[in-house]
Amino acid sequence: MVTAASTTLLAAAALLAGCSRGPRPDEAGRLDHPHAPGSLASPTGLRVVDFHAHWDPRYPLTMLDRMDQAGVAVAVNYSGGLPTALPHSVRGERESGGRLRFFCNVPWRLIGEPDFVERVVLHLRECKTAGALGLKISKALGLGVPDPATGSLLAVDDPWLDPIFEEAGRLGFPVSIHTGDPQAFFRPCGPENERFEELTAAPEWCFADRDVYPAWEELYAAFLRRVARHPGTVFVGVHFGNAPEEPARVAAAMREHPNLWIDTAARLPEIGRHPPEEIRAVFAEFPDRILFGTDLQVGPDVLVLGAGPPEPSPADVETFWRSTWRYFETADADIPSPTPIQGRWPLHGIALDRAALEALYHGNAERLLGL
């Protein structure tokens, strides 16, 4: 999720920020000291690719600092691919020695232009030339982008947009797509809602009003119809396939659609409340289609740990990383939530074996992105 603060930040007028510290030589994309004292890296020492992150592309070193702290070798920016952001993303990739990568974004502000779809297709091609590795579609599609013809919300599977998804496939772009949001956000948002704390901090994420927003089920169905319509395009259903509350349903969707992958970003509290064998079954059935992601949002004055306030304490940062690794690597049943604002229940770890961790942390991402 992107907070209002970081959206403003990322959308701010593009000014070249000076890079006072110069590039970091890191040809292999590996860290020199993954186990330095105080490191929050995975105890396994495995290489990690963060497939789902957001940072202000004008400040690449800020992101690299965060990655170094947690032993992340390479990260993908889902917020670095608007036309105005591209020059910064290109520079960040170069100066980071390829550790900072980026996906394209759709310039939805052009939605009213008569040649909108054609312009987006052209943007995707330019983005590819600039070095982008995929396309990210935010939850705004389905929950915020208006249909210029009618003024009502544009559906996730509106055929008008088909050429964009077809072009992504032709360009070899995986399409990371966020559709809907936690199911709780679609229920009445009062104190009885289990996500009341988060909805109080971000009231704009309450989608309970059926006069304004579609039902969660409607959005999810449109997402799967979109995936089904473009078998030549790989889709990454972010946030555990957009349905972390229902792992069996996620598995069924992946079974039905061989072009559907998922990432784990910002949903460990949701999957971590299920019996671990349920989640382990999804990993066992689809070891090659699950990607590690954090949903970290990083800017010069902002750090959001997947969810929550923009200024977490050092203790929050430590809990975020240690709980993340513990969830995947141990069978502990008392793991504190990495993102407590999403619900303060403990997580039950799934203790993936080393081969599964290798695939999750870097192998699948490297194969999909050609890294």
- Provide the binding-site residues for Zn ion, judged by CB under 5 A: 295
For residue 129, the surrounding DSSP H or E stretch is helix 116-130
What does the DSSP 8-state code read for residue 338? S
**Whole-angstrom Cα distance, residue 328 to residue 151?**
44
Closer to Zn ion at the Cβ: 167 or 295? 295
Q: Least distance to Zn ion from the beta carbon of 331, Å?
A: 28
Amino acid of residue 251: A
Closer to Zn ion at the Cβ: 265 or 347? 265
Q: Least distance to Zn ion from the beta carbon of 81, Å?
A: 13
Closer to Zn ion at the Cβ: 270 or 295? 295
Residue 195 and residue 342 in contact, taking contact as beta carbons nearer than 8 Å: yes
Residue 292 and residue 263 in contact, taking contact as beta carbons nearer than 8 Å: yes
Q: Least distance to Zn ion from the beta carbon of 186, Å?
A: 19
**Whole-angstrom Cα distance, residue 304 to residue 324?**
15
Q: Least distance to Zn ion from the beta carbon of 231, Å?
A: 25
Closer to Zn ion at the Cβ: 116 or 223? 223
Q: Least distance to Zn ion from the beta carbon of 179, Å?
A: 12
Looking from the CA of 273 toward its CB, the CA atoms found within 13 Å total: 13
Other Cβ atoms within 10 Å of 210 Cβ, number: 10
**Whole-angstrom Cα distance, residue 183 to residue 177?**
16
Closer to Zn ion at the Cβ: 157 or 295? 295
Residue 345 and residue 357 in contact, taking contact as beta carbons nearer than 8 Å: no
Question: Quick check: helix, strand or coil at residue 153?
Answer: strand
**Whole-angstrom Cα distance, residue 169 to residue 41?**
34
Closer to Zn ion at the Cβ: 276 or 299? 299
**Given 3-state DSSP classes, what are the helix, strand and coil percentages for the chain, each rounded to the nearest 5?**
40, 10, 45
Return the closest-CA partner of residue 235 out of 179, 181, 283.
179
Q: Least distance to Zn ion from the beta carbon of 197, Å?
A: 19
Q: Least distance to Zn ion from the beta carbon of 155, Å?
A: 21
Q: Least distance to Zn ion from the beta carbon of 265, Å?
A: 6
In Å, how far are 11, 177, 241, 263 from 110, measured between CA atoms?
A: 14, 19, 28, 29
**Whole-angstrom Cα distance, residue 261 to residue 174?**
9
Closer to Zn ion at the Cβ: 312 or 346? 312
Closer to Zn ion at the Cβ: 78 or 116? 78
Q: Which residue is nearest to Zn ion (CB)?
A: 295
Closer to Zn ion at the Cβ: 34 or 80? 80
**Whole-angstrom Cα distance, residue 123 to residue 84?**
11
Q: Least distance to Zn ion from the beta carbon of 1, Å?
A: 6
